[in-house]
Chain A
Amino acid sequence: MKRIPKPVFFIVAIFILLFSFSAVFGVSYYVGDNKENVVKGISDIRWGTDIRGGVEATFEPDGVDATDAQLDSAKSIIETRMVSTGITDYELYADYNTDRIIVRFPWKEDEKKFDVKAALEEISSTAELTFRPGNSYESTTIGSDGKYVYKTPTGDTKTVLMNGSAVKKAQAGIDSSSSNSKKSNYVVSLELNDKGAKTFADITGEYTGKVVSIWMDDIMLSAPTIQEKITGGKAQISGDFTAEEATALAEKINAGALPFKLKTSSYGSVSASLGENSLQAMATAGIIAIILISLFMIIMYRLPGIIAVIALIGQMGITIAAISGYFTVFNSFTMTLPGIAGLILSIGMGVDANVITSERIMEEMRSGRTLDGALDRGTKSSLSAIVDGNMTIVIVAIILLLVFGPFNLLSFIFGQSTTGTIYAFGYTLLVGVISNFIMGIGLSRVMLRAVAGYKFARHKWLFGGVKDGE
Chain B
Amino acid sequence: MASNIKKKTLEEKLLVRGKAPKDFVGSRKIYFIISLAIILIGIVCNFIFGTTMDIQFTGGSMLKYSYSGTLDDAKLKSLVQEKTPDDIVTFSDSKDLVNNKNMLTVQFSGNTTISADLQDNITKSISKQFPKNSFKLEQSSSVDATMGFSFLLKCLVAVAIAGVLMVLYVTIRFKKIGGLSAGVMGLVALFHDLAIIYFFYVIFRMPIDSSFMAVALMILGYSLNDTVVVYDRVREERRNLGYKADIKDVFNLAATKVMRRTIITSITTITAVVIVYVIAVIYNLDSVKAFALPMIIGLISGCYSSLCIAGPLWVMWKKRDKKAKN
A contact set with B: CB distance below 8 Å: 50, 58, 100, 114-117, 120-121, 264-271, 273-274, 277-278, 280-282, 284-285, 288-289, 292-293, 296-297, 300, 337-338, 341, 344-345, 347-349, 351-352, 355-356, 359, 363, 366-370, 373, 381, 384-385, 388-393, 395-397, 399-400, 402-404, 410, 413-415, 417, 420-422, 425, 429
- Smallest Cβ-Cβ distance to B264: which chain A residue: A355
Does B113 lie within 8 Å of A265, measured CB to CB? yes
Q: Which residue of A lies closest to B157 (CB)?
A: A410
Contacts A/B (CB < 8 Å), 21 sampled: A116-B140, A117-B117, A117-B120, A120-B116, A270-B139, A280-B283, A281-B282, A337-B287, A337-B288, A341-B288, A348-B268, A359-B264, A363-B257, A369-B5, A390-B225, A393-B222, A399-B161, A400-B158, A403-B154, A403-B155, A404-B210
Q: Which residues of B from 265 to 302 have beta carbons under 8 Å from A? A: 265, 267-273, 275-276, 278-280, 282-283, 285, 287-288, 291-292, 295
Question: For residue B120, which residues in chain A have a CB less than 8 angstroms away from its CB?
Answer: 115-117
How distant is the Cα of A265 from the Cα of B148 in the complex, in angstroms?
11
Q: Nearest-CB distance from B238 to chain A (Å)?
A: 13
> Does residue B74 face the partner (Cβ distance < 8 Å to A)?
no
Which of chain B's residues has its CB closest to A397's CB?
A: B221
Further 9 A-B residue pairs, CB within 8 A, beyond A292-B271, A352-B261, A403-B158: A120-B116, A121-B116, A271-B138, A296-B268, A366-B17, A369-B2, A385-B233, A395-B166, A414-B151
Residues in A with CB closer than 8 Å to B283 are 277-278, 280-281
B1 within 8 A of A: yes
In the complex, which residue of chain A has the Cβ closest to the Cβ of B139?
A: A270
Residues of chain B within 8 A (CB-CB) of A278 are 283, 285, 287-288
Residues of B within 8 A of A403 (CB): 154-155, 157-158
How distant is the Cα of A392 from the Cα of B221 in the complex, in angstroms? 5
Report how many A-B pairs have Cβ atoms within 8 Å: 237
Min distance, Cβ A198 to any Cβ of chain B, angstroms: 40
Chain A residue with Cβ nearest B278: A285
Known: A338-B211, A370-B2. A396 touches B268 (CB 8 A): no
CB neighbours (8 Å) of B162 from chain A are 395-396, 399
B273 contact set on A, CB distance < 8 A: 344-345, 348
Report A424 CB to chain B, min CB distance, Å: 10
Of all A-B residue pairs in the complex, the 9 with the closest CB atoms, nearest first, are: A348-B272, A396-B221, A348-B269, A281-B283, A117-B120, A268-B141, A385-B232, A403-B158, A285-B279
A274 touches B139 (CB 8 A): yes
Q: Judging by beta carbons under 8 Å apart, are A410 and B166 in contact?
A: no
> Is A338's CB under 8 angstroms from B291's CB?
yes
Known contacts A348-B268, A385-B233, A396-B220; A368 and B113 CB within 8 A of each other: no
- Contact A429-B218, Cβ < 8 Å, known A285-B275, A338-B291: yes
**A264 and B115 contacting across the interface, CB-CB below 8 Å:** yes
Q: Which residues of A contact B78 (CB under 8 A)?
A: none
Looking at the assembled complex, report how far the CB atom of A14 sits from the nearest CB atom of chain B, in whole angstroms.
Answer: 25
The minimal Cβ–Cβ distance linking B157 to chain A, given in whole angstroms, is 6
Establish whether residues B288 and A282, one from each chain, have CB atoms under 8 Å apart when the complex forms.
yes
Question: Which parts of B131-186 form the interface with A (CB within 8 Å)?
Answer: 136-144, 147, 150-151, 153-155, 157-158, 161-162, 165-166, 169-170, 173
In the complex, how many angstroms separate the beta carbon of B310 from the nearest chain A beta carbon? 13
Q: Given A269-B139, A277-B96, A341-B292, are A392 and B166 neighbors across the interface (CB < 8 Å)?
A: yes
Q: In the assembly, what is the distance between CA of A174 and CA of B255, in Å?
A: 71
B217 within 8 A of A: yes
**Given the complex, which residues of B lie within 8 Å of A402, measured CB to CB?**
158
Given known contacts A293-B268, A341-B276, A395-B221, is B139 in contact with A389 (CB within 8 Å)? no
Kindly identify, within residues 14 to 72 of chain B, every residue whose CB is under 8 Å from any CB belonging to chain A.
Answer: 17, 66
B250 to chain A, nearest CB (A): 16
A392-B272 contact in complex given A268-B141, A270-B138, A400-B217, C-beta closer than 8 Å: no
Q: Is B92 an interface residue when CB atoms closer than 8 A count as contact?
A: no
- Assembly CA distance A1 to B222 (angstroms): 33
Distance (whole angstroms) from the CB of B299 to the closest CB of chain A: 9
Interface string of B214-249 (1 = CB under 8 A from A): 100110111011101100110010000000000000
Asked if B228 contacts A392 (CB within 8 A), the reply is yes
Report whether A266 and B153 are in contact in the complex, using a CB–CB cutoff of 8 Å: no
Q: In the assembly, what is the distance between CA of A403 and CA of B216, in Å?
A: 14
For A420, list chain B residues within 8 Å (CB): 210
Q: How far apart are the CA atoms of A267 and B138 in the complex, in Å? A: 14
Q: Are A116 and B137 in contact (CB under 8 A)?
A: yes
Please tell me if the beta carbons of A297 and B140 are within 8 angstroms of each other in the complex: no
Task: Select one of A267, A284, A384 contacting B279, CB under 8 A.
Answer: A284
Which A residues are CB-close (under 8 A) to B257?
363
User: Which residue of A265, A388, A396, A410 contacts B228 across the interface (Cβ within 8 Å)?
Assistant: A388
Whole-angstrom distance from the CB of B322 to the nearest CB of chain A? Answer: 25
Distance from A356 Cβ to chain B, minimum over Cβ atoms (Å): 5
| Chain A: CB-nearest residue to B263 | A355
Docked-complex contact A293 and B139, CB < 8 angstroms: no
Chain B residues near A269: list those with CB within 8 A: 137, 139-141
Structural contact, A271 and B279, CB atoms closer than 8 A: no
Contacts of B326 in A (CB 8 A): none
Residues on the B chain within 8 Å of A281, using CB: 98, 279-280, 282-283, 285, 288
| Docked CA distance A397–B169 (Å) | 15
| Chain B minimum-CB-distance residue to A394 | B221
Minimum distance in angstroms from B253 CB to a CB of chain A: 12
Task: Chain B residues near A397: list those with CB within 8 A.
Answer: 221
A354 to B58, CA, bound (A): 44
Q: Does B81 count as interface, using CB distance less than 8 angstroms?
A: no
Contact of A392 among B5, B224, B275, B292 (CB under 8 A): B224
Taking a contact as CB atoms under 8 Å apart, the answer to whether A300 and B264 are in contact is: yes
B7 at the interface (CB under 8 A from A): no
Q: Known interface pairs A115-B120, A278-B288. Does A368 touch B4 (Cβ–Cβ under 8 Å)?
A: yes
Task: Tell me the complex Cα distance, A415–B154, Å.
Answer: 10
Contact A359 B261, CB 8 Å, known A292-B271, A370-B2: yes
Contacts of A393 in B (CB 8 A): 221-222, 225
Smallest beta-carbon distance B4→chain A, Å: 5
Docked CA distance A363–B233 (Å): 13
